[in-house]
Amino acid sequence: MSAALHQIIVIFIGIAAGLGCRVFGVLDEKGTATLSNLVVKLILPFYLFSAILNTPADVEAGGVLLALALSAALFLFSGLVALAFTALLRPERGDRGVYLFELMCGNVTYIGIPVCAAVLGPSAAFYASLLNIPYNLICFSLGVYLLAGKLPLKKILNPAFLAGLSAAILYMLRVPVPALLLDGCAFIGQATSPCAMLIIGSVLGGVKLHALFGDWRAIPYVLLRLLGVAALVALGLRFVEAPAVLKGVLVLMAAMPAATNSTMLCTIYGGNRELSAKLIFLSTALSAVTIPLWATWL
């Protein structure tokens, strides 16, 4: 079994556990909302801070800035593709923002970082963690606006973004951080992926089975999310001077399934979280086939 496929199966075990918690009343609506807040505001920031500073990579400041610039360009390009896609398929007014967000932002944290590390080596986790800095800035600004029709200006400088940015600055300045502090952050951050999957499973527990496959737009969405965007990114990177590992990370991140943060953001701020959970479920299921293909190609 490939490392990428192994990671996808682990993710589905977590989603199944969350579904079971919802079905048997262990995790109700209020508990799901509380857990979403906990992940977004506490656990995820610890994870990103430790992931960047615990890296075995040795990258100069210029390399860090290049990675941040290319990461921001990736989301900008994905956003343009998303606009063209939604204009063609014309989803219902209340669903348009969800499709836009889920095409612009993939699961670059909970699946992206471990998959990049497994496929491209430990140094790839460093670049993958840097990519989460612009990602979290987008999530809590444009992302919340698309998903819930709100623009919480006070939330743009959110804990996850600030944690990633501060870690990147400390890394570039070569400021030593006590190992005990990093170990403590990593210890808390390890709960990020399990908690996120429990939340998705809990939301799916409230979705009727036929609704998972009731929207025909989900099929072209999944194909574009898992194959189309990454193929275009790979083509564009042929004309960019950058380390091969960084290019590989950008292609893999472009091929990730739907962003699980959307379900948590919909839970916190309002929005169609059922559609969000459905796109996450379908794209993650099919990524068990597409991610190993991309990993083999890379």
**Residue 152 CB neighbours (<10 A):** 14
As a whole number, the mean pLDDT across the chain is: 82
d(C-alpha 36, C-alpha 29), whole Å: 11
Residue 70 binned pLDDT confidence (cut-offs 50, 70, 90): very high
Asked if the structure places residue 76 within a domain, the reply is yes
Q: Which of 125, 149, 150, 155 is nearest to 137 (CA)?
A: 155
Q: What is the pLDDT of residues 165-202, one digit of tens each?
A: 898 889 888 888 899 999 999 999 888 878 878 887 88
d(C-alpha 276, C-alpha 259), whole Å: 9
The predicted structure's pLDDT at residue 4: 63
Please tell me the pTM assigned to this model. Answer: 0.80
Cβ neighbourhood burial of 9 (10 Å; 0-12, 13-18, 19+): exposed
Tokens of 73: 């360009």
Q: What is the pLDDT of residues 205-251, one digit of tens each?
A: 766 655 556 667 778 888 888 998 999 999 999 988 888 899 999 99
Asked if the structure places residue 116 within a domain, the reply is yes
Adjacent-strand bridge partners of 106: 258
DSSP-derived 3-state class of residue 280: helix
Under 8 Å between Cβ of 291 and 112: no
Tokens of 297: 């190609």
Q: What is the pLDDT of residues 114-160, one digit of tens each?
A: 788 878 887 888 888 888 888 888 887 887 888 877 766 666 677 88
d(C-alpha 44, C-alpha 110), whole Å: 10
Maximum Cα interatomic distance, the chain, rounded to a whole number of Å: 53
Say which CATH number the domain at 248 has.
1.20.1530.20
DSSP 272: -
Higher pLDDT: 49 or 121? It is 49
Residue numbers of the domain that contains 244: 3-292
Q: Say whether pLDDT at 1 is over 60.
A: no
Tokens of 77: 């390009």
d(C-alpha 207, C-alpha 205), whole Å: 6
The predicted structure's pLDDT at residue 252: 92
Q: What is the pLDDT of residues 10-38, one digit of tens each?
A: 777 888 898 899 888 888 878 887 887 88
Give the position of tokens 């200006």: 153
Asked if the structure places residue 298 within a domain, the reply is no
Asked if the structure places residue 297 within a domain, the reply is no
Q: Say whether pLDDT at 2 is over 70.
A: no
Q: What are the two backbone dihedrals, phi and then psi, of residue 258, each rounded to the nearest 5 degrees?
A: -55, 145
The pLDDT > 70 percentage for the chain reads: 91
Asked if the structure places residue 12 within a domain, the reply is yes
Asked if the structure places residue 264 within a domain, the reply is yes
d(C-alpha 55, C-alpha 287), whole Å: 26
Asked if the structure places residue 73 within a domain, the reply is yes
Q: Rounded to an integer, what is the distance from CA 72 to the centroid of its chain?
A: 14
The predicted structure's pLDDT at residue 208: 64
Q: Which of 7, 240, 234, 233 is nearest to 118 (CA)?
A: 7
Asked if the structure places residue 208 within a domain, the reply is yes
The predicted structure's pLDDT at residue 155: 65
Instruction: Give the gyration radius of the chain's Cα atoms.
Output: 18
The predicted structure's pLDDT at residue 249: 93
